[in-house]
């Protein structure tokens, strides 16, 4: 393993100066370091909108000088210097010694890396498309004299959707969609043991695509019901990957698939073992209802109702039915989706909506009725 060096540290003394300039003996060094950290944090949080790029701190034996580089000095100085005097009093009180505040204006904020990054972050918080925010920041910077290039990147979550910040998406499979949606609330809220998961899933013939193959011919599928892909179905790694990330541990599950004599639809029956065998159906439904309250496409069915593929046909809905078996201490989860819509094209369109900065449901809530 190589040594990791902060890029700023490699440039100090070459093109950058020290952001903290003082000397302290061993017994005072740690205290001064913590004071500087708290001071920068306080000023940055209080005047975040002022566009502060850098805060330099100089200490002498008797006083402290704080130099603030900002794109909006007026917000820190205030009318007739009232705001900066208030800040000076706060710093003096926090450090316990006289403080001097110097405010320096940044003439070209669009050429300052820190301010460019903060501007992009503020736009993302306002739900501006990340591509638009990045492009505009790059265009403004490149128009300035002396700027030879700019590189920007963003990561993390936006409105709960990683998809909105990427340019390439691997659309989830139909079986993983039904299984993960069914398990999500139970695993996320630590209701079940993750070492005892069994999935029994059934799919219509269209789950295999449109290619000509003998096993999916009408004459082979009609009036028949059979298992396939056991015990190493191609979607098993995808399901285990996502459930492991959700559980925070390595998860192995038994995933078993069957071919239904129907055109479309998936019904997955998921067998789990409750961590608290005394937990009743009302408590489980409350957890599921709360977890999925933000998603109009996941429907938690009433007590006693079980999902059917015909009720999700041609839609983005995933119907979840819940059964608690107190005799065995098991929670049985039933998940039904349309494999051609929620499990394929509809889900792809939802991902495209997020990538393009559109509402996720655009064009998907009023699909054409199917016979």
Q: What is the pLDDT of residue 1?
A: 45
Is residue 34 situated within a structural domain? yes
Q: Is residue 281 part of a domain?
A: yes
d(CA 177, CA 290): 20
Examine the domain organization and report whether 80 and 37 are in the same domain: yes
Is there a single domain that holds both residue 245 and residue 97?
no
- Three-class secondary structure of residue 259 per DSSP: strand
Pick from 81-90, 132-141, 357-366: least confident: 357-366
Enumerate the β-bridge partners of residue 330: 273, 325
**Does residue 128 lie in a domain region?**
yes
Counting the structural domains of the chain, the total is: 3
Same-domain check for residues 335 and 258: yes
Is there a single domain that holds both residue 35 and residue 114? no
Tokens representing residue 33 in the block: 């370091």
For residue 265, say if its preceding peptide bond is cis, omega within 30 degrees of 0.
no
328 in the same domain as 188: yes
Q: How far apart are CA 77 and CA 126, in angstroms?
A: 27
Structure tokens, 247: 């559980």
Q: What is the pLDDT of residue 210?
A: 66
| Tens-digit pLDDT profile for residues 211-246 | 677 777 777 888 888 888 888 888 899 999 999 999
Residue 322: CB atoms within 10 A of its CB come to 21
- The pLDDT, as a whole number, for residue 157 is 59
> Does any domain span residue 89?
yes
- Between 75 and 367, name the one with better pLDDT: 75
Residue 250 tokens read as 């390595």
**DSSP string spanning 221-266?**
HTT--EEES-S--TTHHHHHHHHHHHHTS----EEEEEE-SSSS-E
Q: What is the pLDDT of residues 114-139, one digit of tens each?
A: 999 999 988 887 767 777 888 899 99
Spot the catalytic one: 174, 194, 318, 341: 174
Average pLDDT over residues 102-110: 93
Q: CATH number of the domain at 28, please.
A: 3.30.300.20
Any domain includes 185 = yes
Task: Identify whether residues 83 and 133 lie together within a single domain.
Answer: no
Cβ-based burial of 274 (10 A; exposed 0-12, middle 13-18, buried ≥19): buried
Averaged over 170-190, what is the pLDDT? 92
Q: Which of 48, 78, 106 is the last residue of a domain?
A: 106
* 356 belongs to the catalytic site: no
Q: Are residue 339 and residue 255 in the same domain, yes or no?
A: yes
Give the structural domain span for 44: 19-106
Question: Is the pLDDT reported for residue 63 higher than 70?
Answer: yes
* pLDDT band, very low/low/confident/very high, at 70 (cuts 50, 70, 90): very high
Q: Give tens-digit pLDDT for 309-347.
A: 999 998 999 999 999 999 999 999 999 999 988 888 888
300 forms bridges with which residues in the sheet? 320
Rounded Cα distance, 232 and 257, in Å: 10
The residues, any chain, with a CB within 8 Å of residue 370's CB and separated by 6 or more, are: 313, 314
pLDDT in tens, 197-211: 999 999 988 876 666
b/e sequence 219-246, b meaning 16+ C-beta within 10 Å: eebeeeeeeebeeebebbebbbebbbeb
What value does the mean pLDDT of the chain take?
88
Predicted local distance difference test score (pLDDT) of residue 234? 87
> Considering the entire predicted model, what is its pTM?
0.59
- Identify the domain boundary among 106, 122, 138: 106
> CB of 132 within 8 A of CB of 357?
yes
**240 and 331 share one domain:** yes
- Residues 235 and 317 reside in one and the same domain: yes
User: Residue 199 has what DSSP assignment?
Assistant: E
Q: Are residue 182 and residue 270 in the same domain, yes or no?
A: yes
Same domain membership, residue 67 and residue 43: yes
Residue 161 lies in a domain: no
Amino acid 312: pLDDT: 93
Residue 224 lies in a domain: yes
> How many CB atoms neighbour CB 291 within 10 A?
16
The answer on pLDDT for 164 being more than 70 is: no
Query: Does a structural domain hold residue 43?
Result: yes
Q: Which of 77, 106, 135 is the last residue of a domain?
A: 106
State whether 119 and 41 are in the same domain.
no
């Amino acid at each position: 393993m190589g040594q990791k060096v902060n890029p700023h540290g490699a440039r100090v003394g070459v093109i950058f100066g020290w952001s903290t300039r003082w000397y302290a003996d061993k017994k005072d060094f740690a205290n001064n370091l913590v004071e500087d950290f708290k001071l920068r944090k306080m000023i940055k949080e209080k005047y975040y909108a002022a566009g502060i790029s850098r805060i330099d701190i100089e200490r002498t034996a008797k006083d402290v000088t704080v130099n603030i580089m900002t794109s909006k000095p007026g917000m820190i100085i205030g009318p007739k210097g009232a705001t900066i005097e208030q800040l000076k009093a706060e710093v003096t009180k926090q450090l316990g010694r006289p403080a001097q505040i110097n405010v320096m204006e940044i003439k070209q904020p669009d050429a300052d890396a820190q301010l460019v990054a903060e501007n992009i972050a503020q736009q993302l918080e306002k739900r501006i498309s990340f591509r638009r925010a990045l492009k505009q920041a790059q265009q403004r910077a490149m128009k300035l004299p002396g700027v030879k290039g700019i590189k920007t990147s963003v990561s993390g979550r936006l409105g709960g959707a990683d998809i909105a910040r990427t340019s390439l998406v691997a659309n989830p499979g139909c079986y993983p969609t039904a299984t993960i949606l069914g398990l999500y609330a139970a695993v996320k809220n630590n209701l079940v043991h993750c070492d005892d998961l069994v999935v029994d899933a059934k799919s219509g013939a269209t789950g295999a695509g449109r290619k000509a193959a003998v096993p999916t011919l009408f004459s082979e599928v009609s009036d028949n019901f059979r298992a396939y892909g056991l015990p190493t179905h191609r979607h098993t790694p995808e399901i285990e990957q996502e459930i492991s990330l959700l559980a925070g541990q390595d998860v192995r599950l038994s995933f078993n698939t069957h071919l239904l004599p129907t055109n479309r639809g998936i019904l997955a029956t998921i067998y789990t073992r409750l961590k608290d065998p005394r937990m009743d159906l009302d408590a489980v439904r409350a957890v599921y209802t709360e977890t999925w309250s933000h998603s109009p496409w996941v429907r938690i069915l009433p007590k006693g109702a079980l999902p059917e593929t015909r009720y999700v046909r041609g839609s983005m809905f995933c119907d979840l039915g819940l059964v608690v078996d107190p005799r065995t201490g098991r929670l049985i989860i039933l998940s039904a989706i349309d494999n051609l819509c929620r499990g394929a094209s509809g889900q792809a369109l939802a991902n495209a909506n997020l990538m393009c900065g559109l509402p996720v449901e655009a064009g998907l809530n009023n699909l054409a009725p199917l016979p």
